[in-house]
Chain A
Amino acid sequence: MMAPILNVQGLETQFRLEEGTIRAVNGISFQLNEGEILGIVGESGCGKSVTMMSILRLIPAPPGKVVAGQALYKGRDLLAMKDEEFRQICGSQISMIFQDPMTSFNPVLTIGRQIAEPLEAHLSLTRGQVYERVVELMTIVGIPNPKDRFNDYPHQFSGGMRQRVMIAMALACSPQILIADEPTTALDVTIQAQIIELVKELRDKLGMAIIWITHDLGVTAGLVDRVLVLYAGLIIEEASVEELYAHPEHPYTIALLGSLPRMDAGGRKRLVSIEGKPPVLYEKPTSCPFAPRCKYRIEHCSTENPLLMQVRVGHTAACWVDPKTGKERS
Chain B
Amino acid sequence: MTLNGNETLLKVENLVKYFPIFQGAIIRRKTGNIHAVDGISFEIKQGETLGLVGESGCGKSTTGRTVLQLYRPTSGNVYLAGQNLVTMKGEELRKMRSKMQMIFQDPYASLNSRMTVGEIIAEPMLIHGTANRKEASAKTQELLRLVGLEPEYSNRFPHEFSGGQRQRVGVARALSLQPSLIVCDEPISSLDVSIQAQVVNLLEDLQKQFNLSYLFIAHDLSMVQHISTSVAVMYLGVIVELADQNQLYTSPLHPYTQSLLSAVPIPDPVTEKKRRRHILVGEIPSPANPPSGCRFRTRCPLAAEICTQVRPEFREMTPGHWVACHMAGQSI
- Tell me whether A and B are bound partners: yes
Interface residues of A (CB under 8 A from B): 43-44, 158-161, 188-194, 196-197, 215-219, 221-222, 241-242, 245-246, 255-264, 266-275, 277
Minimal beta-carbon separation of A183 from chain B (angstroms)? 14
Question: In the complex, A193 Cα to B262 Cα: how many Å?
Answer: 9
A259 touches B194 (CB 8 A): yes
Could you pull out 28 A-B pairs where Cβ atoms are within 8 angstroms?
A43-B195, A189-B220, A189-B221, A189-B263, A189-B264, A190-B279, A192-B263, A193-B262, A193-B277, A193-B279, A194-B280, A215-B193, A221-B272, A241-B269, A242-B270, A256-B193, A263-B222, A263-B261, A264-B271, A266-B246, A266-B249, A267-B222, A267-B245, A268-B226, A272-B197, A273-B198, A274-B194, A277-B164
On whether A242 and B269 interact (CB within 8 A), knowing A189-B221, A273-B197, the answer reads yes
Question: In the complex, A321 Cα to B200 Cα: how many Å?
Answer: 29
A219 touches B55 (CB 8 A): no
Residues of B with C-beta under 8 A to A258 = 197
| Closest A-B pairs by Cβ, 7 of them | A222-B272, A218-B265, A261-B226, A259-B197, A193-B263, A274-B194, A271-B197
Residues of A with C-beta under 8 A to B162 = 277
Q: Which of B49-65 contact A (CB under 8 A)?
A: 55-56
Mask, B276-320, CB within 8 Å of A = 1, is 010111010000000000000000000000000000000000000
Residues of B with C-beta under 8 A to A246 = 270
Residues of B with C-beta under 8 A to A192 = 263, 265
Mask, B214-233, CB within 8 Å of A = 1, is 00000111110110000000
Residues of B with C-beta under 8 A to A260 = 193, 222, 267
B222 touches A261 (CB 8 A): yes
Mask, B176-198, CB within 8 Å of A = 1, is 00000000000000001111111
Residues of A with C-beta under 8 A to B93 = none
Q: Which of B220-261 contact A (CB under 8 A)?
A: 220-223, 225-226, 245-246, 249, 259-261
A43 touches B265 (CB 8 A): no
On whether A190 and B259 interact (CB within 8 A), knowing A256-B194, A259-B194, A273-B197, the answer reads yes
Tell whether B134 is near chain A: CB-to-CB under 8 Å. Answer: no
A218 touches B222 (CB 8 A): yes
Q: Which residue of the partner chain A has the closest CB to B266?
A: A264
A273 touches B265 (CB 8 A): no
Residues of A with C-beta under 8 A to B268 = 221, 245, 262, 264
Tell whether B273 is near chain A: CB-to-CB under 8 Å. Answer: yes
Q: Which residue of the partner chain B has the closest CB to A188?
A: B55
Residues of B with C-beta under 8 A to A262 = 222, 266-268
Tell whether B113 is near chain A: CB-to-CB under 8 Å. Answer: no
Tell whether B132 is near chain A: CB-to-CB under 8 Å. Answer: no
Tell whether B75 is near chain A: CB-to-CB under 8 Å. Answer: no
Residues of A with C-beta under 8 A to B192 = 43-44, 215
Residues of A with C-beta under 8 A to B222 = 218, 260-263, 267
A267 touches B194 (CB 8 A): no
Tell whether B110 is near chain A: CB-to-CB under 8 Å. Answer: no
B263 touches A259 (CB 8 A): no
B197 touches A219 (CB 8 A): no
A189-B55, A189-B219, A266-B246 are known contacts; what are 5 more A-B pairs with Cβ within 8 Å?
A: A194-B279, A222-B269, A268-B226, A269-B226, A271-B226
Tell whether B23 is near chain A: CB-to-CB under 8 Å. Answer: no
Residues of B with C-beta under 8 A to A259 = 193-194, 196-197
A273 touches B280 (CB 8 A): no
A218 touches B267 (CB 8 A): yes
Would you call the interface of chain B mostly helix, strand, loop, or mixed? helix
Residues of B with C-beta under 8 A to A221 = 265-269, 271-272
Residues of A with C-beta under 8 A to B272 = 221-222
Residues of B with C-beta under 8 A to A257 = 267
B273 touches A190 (CB 8 A): no
On whether A245 and B269 interact (CB within 8 A), knowing A188-B219, A271-B226, the answer reads yes
Tell whether B83 is near chain A: CB-to-CB under 8 Å. Answer: no
B201 touches A189 (CB 8 A): no
Of listed A43, A259, A263, residue having the most chain B CB within 10 A: A263
Partner of A263, one of B193, B264, B269: B264
B263 touches A263 (CB 8 A): no
Residues of A with C-beta under 8 A to B273 = 222
Residues of B with C-beta under 8 A to A44 = 192
Mask, B36-74, CB within 8 Å of A = 1, is 000000000000000000011000000000000000000
A197 touches B279 (CB 8 A): yes
Minimal beta-carbon separation of B18 from chain A (angstroms)? 22
Residues of A with C-beta under 8 A to B249 = 263, 266-267
Q: Which residue of the partner chain B has the closest CB to A219?
A: B265
Residues of A with C-beta under 8 A to B226 = 261, 267-269, 271
A261 touches B279 (CB 8 A): no
Question: In the complex, A255 Cα to B133 Cα: how many Å?
Answer: 42
Minimal beta-carbon separation of B42 from chain A (angstroms)? 20
Minimal beta-carbon separation of B61 from chain A (angstroms)? 14
Minimal beta-carbon separation of A291 from chain B (angstroms)? 15
Partner of B221, one of A263, A268, A271, A274: A263
Question: In the complex, A277 Cα to B200 Cα: how many Å?
Answer: 16
B279 touches A222 (CB 8 A): no
B198 touches A261 (CB 8 A): no
Minimal beta-carbon separation of B260 from chain A (angstroms)? 6
B56 touches A188 (CB 8 A): yes
Minimal beta-carbon separation of A36 from chain B (angstroms)? 15
Question: In the complex, A21 Cα to B200 Cα: how many Å?
Answer: 34
Residues of B with C-beta under 8 A to A266 = 246, 249
Q: Which residue of the partner chain A has the closest CB to B57?
A: A188
Minimal beta-carbon separation of A222 from chain B (angstroms)? 3
Residues of A with C-beta under 8 A to B164 = 277
Question: In the complex, A219 Cα to B262 Cα: how many Å?
Answer: 13
Question: In the complex, A277 Cα to B281 Cα: how many Å?
Answer: 39
